Amino acid sequence: MTSIAMIEAAAGRAADRVRRTPLLSSPFLDDIAGRRLFVKAEALQHTGSFKFRGAWSAISALSPEIRARGVIAFSSGNHAQGVAHAAALHGISSVIIMPEDAPRMKIDNTAALGAEVVLYDRAGGEDRDAIGARLSAERGLTLIKPFDNAEVIAGQGTTGLEIAEQATAKGVTQADVLVCCGGGGLTSGIALALEARAPGLRPRPCEPEGFDDVTRSLAAGARATNPSPTGSICDAILTPSPGELTLPVMQRLCGPGLVVSDDEALEAMALAWSRLKLVLEPGGAVALAAALFRHETITGDAVIAVASGGNVDASVFARALARLG
């Protein structure tokens, strides 16, 4: 299991390679939120999302011999780009397995970052796990899971170390920390870091409507599952259920979850654009949306929202901008 010592070790390995992202704010957003609102701008991380932190942590934690054989990941999204770039910077090869109907831009970006992209036919029933197992066995590749991996969680936890330092520097020691939540890697990593470094900061997972498996799991005290795998524009955080490693951490350390609509995520994207000059994707904007539009369920005179990613298609972004009409 991930410990604060592992998170600090991940931070040590990340020095100069993982970007320390700023904590942004705007008086216009404070007004809407009804309190001081600080936005951890993790969309500014390398590859446009926090996923680079976990990928860097997991790859840098491997022994040189194991690492040299390369890594493999299943992802069509931010994890793919994080693993591809972290592998390239380590000078090792990466194989990313994606469905062949993934957006062309994501396939191209991942390949351009240096990965070998292997496409499989999702509709035709090809088994991606079998493909991955075969490649791993043949080439000795190490699988980097997106969240159920203790070193990945440690890497995401470095975000929490920075939040603890940055919030303390602003005099904020008691506040909710809202985190965009899919499988829970970022949320549980931040939770472990804050427990050790800023115990007055309470993490709370934020999810889109219809995909609130973590919120319901925390409320019920038992693992919940989403009824459908698709159906929200917040594609980066649509996981079927909480992770095996992450749920126990979130149950022990997190406050209640917050749920927002796709429309509210788009509105938060528009406000991040106009007030923070920050590009967010829908799944990376749900925590900001919760801070702005669920403020009646938040207490205290300050709140922190983690803006976890900004990899969004121009057409979706245009929908957010159109709201500013």
- Interface with a copy of itself (CB under 8 A): 16, 19-22, 24, 27-28, 41, 43-44, 48, 85, 112-113, 169, 273-274, 276-280, 310, 314, 317-318, 321-322, 324-325
Whether residue 254 contacts residue 204, with contact meaning beta carbons closer than 8 Å, is answered with yes
Q: What is the length of the chain?
A: 325
Nearer to a copy of itself, 41 or 194 (CB): 41
Residue whose C-alpha is closest to residue 21's, from 321, 306, 325: 306
Query: What is the nearest approach in angstroms of a copy of itself to the Cβ of residue 49?
Result: 9
Tokens encoding 240: 């079927």
Query: What is the nearest approach in angstroms of a copy of itself to the Cβ of residue 257?
Result: 26
Tokens encoding 149: 């991996």
Query: What is the nearest approach in angstroms of a copy of itself to the Cβ of residue 314?
Result: 4
Nearer to a copy of itself, 260 or 280 (CB): 280
- What letter represents residue 309's amino acid? G
Nearer to a copy of itself, 92 or 278 (CB): 278
Nearer to a copy of itself, 218 or 305 (CB): 305
Task: Find all residues with CB under 8 Å of 251, minimum gap 6, and list them.
Answer: 217, 218, 221
Nearer to a copy of itself, 15 or 137 (CB): 15
Whether residue 154 contacts residue 189, with contact meaning beta carbons closer than 8 Å, is answered with yes
Nearer to a copy of itself, 24 or 238 (CB): 24
Tokens encoding 24: 């942004």
The CA-to-CA distance between both ends of the chain, in Å, stands at 48
- What letter represents residue 82's amino acid? G
Query: What is the nearest approach in angstroms of a copy of itself to the Cβ of residue 246?
Result: 25
Whether residue 46 contacts residue 18, with contact meaning beta carbons closer than 8 Å, is answered with yes
- Residue 66: its H or E element: helix 64-68
Query: What is the nearest approach in angstroms of a copy of itself to the Cβ of residue 90?
Result: 14
Query: What is the nearest approach in angstroms of a copy of itself to the Cβ of residue 276?
Result: 7
Nearer to a copy of itself, 7 or 269 (CB): 269
CA distance 52 to 230: 24
Whether residue 66 contacts residue 142, with contact meaning beta carbons closer than 8 Å, is answered with yes
Query: What is the nearest approach in angstroms of a copy of itself to the Cβ of residue 313?
Result: 9
